[in-house]
Chains A and B, each alone.
Chain A
Amino acid sequence: GAVVSQHPSWVICKSGTSVKIECRSLDFQATTMFWYRQFPKQSLMLMATSNEGSKATYEQGVEKDKFLINHASLTLSTLTVTSAHPEDSSFYICSARDPHSAHYEQYFGPGTRLTVT
């Protein structure tokens, strides 16, 4: 199946700093990528839909100025957590949809664990 990578796999940052997470589709071009957040013992929560070359669509309750998403190329989307605080500590997961697939399955990255101290 299609492969999606994320970098870094884990990051620790100080409160008030910004952190950038990269999501890459390795063997296909993804016009649409998605960002999710997962707190311990909870399910994945969709944060935003990222479309190449256009602004991301954020889910209700997700602050677009805090979670900046850039999908500048067909293989790369980035999520920047600005002015991070301890409550932003979470597991961030991206996914990508292969536009050549007849259906709409998403392929997920391995996730990035963010810890804000």
Chain B
Amino acid sequence: DAKTTQPPSMDCAEGRAANLPCNHSTISGNEYVYWYRQIHSQGPQYIIHGLKNNETNEMASLIITEDRKSSTLILPHATLRDTAVYYCIVPNTGNQFYFGTGTSLTVIP
């Protein structure tokens, strides 16, 4: 079963920052949080992952709370091409991914 919960949908205005929250209250000390997105009828695309420090790459930033029970993915300047379903994943002990329902992000012109 998925170890994360996310809001089912969000809207964001084009050019604005999109902040996507994720709860992972049962995460243990050495488990990473991974973020992927899936554009319609494609395979999921890796975005970013982190353990406890905030992370940033060319796609997004990941903010993890100090207690590690939640995180937020930030797309700093959302474009129409960022419309997708975003998944936050904490793997199980076998490092397998169990996907939750994700957040369907719609970027509005």
Using a CB–CB distance below 8 Å, which chain A residues touch chain B? 1, 4, 6, 34, 36, 43-46, 49, 91, 93, 95, 97, 103-111, 113
Contacts and interface: CB of A to CB of B under 8 A. Distances in A.
Contact of B41 (A95, A97, A113): A113
A38 B69 CA distance: 28
Given A43-B100, A103-B49, A49 B42 contact: no
B45 interface: yes
A111 B96 contact: no
Contacts of A109: 43
Q: Give chain A's interface secondary structure class.
A: strand
Contacts of A4: 43
Interface of B: 32, 34, 36, 38, 41-46, 49, 87, 91, 94-102
A43 B99 CA distance: 6
A107 B34 CA distance: 12
A49 B102 contact: no
13 contacts: A36-B99, A43-B87, A44-B87, A44-B99, A45-B99, A49-B94, A91-B41, A93-B44, A104-B34, A104-B95, A105-B49, A106-B46, A108-B46
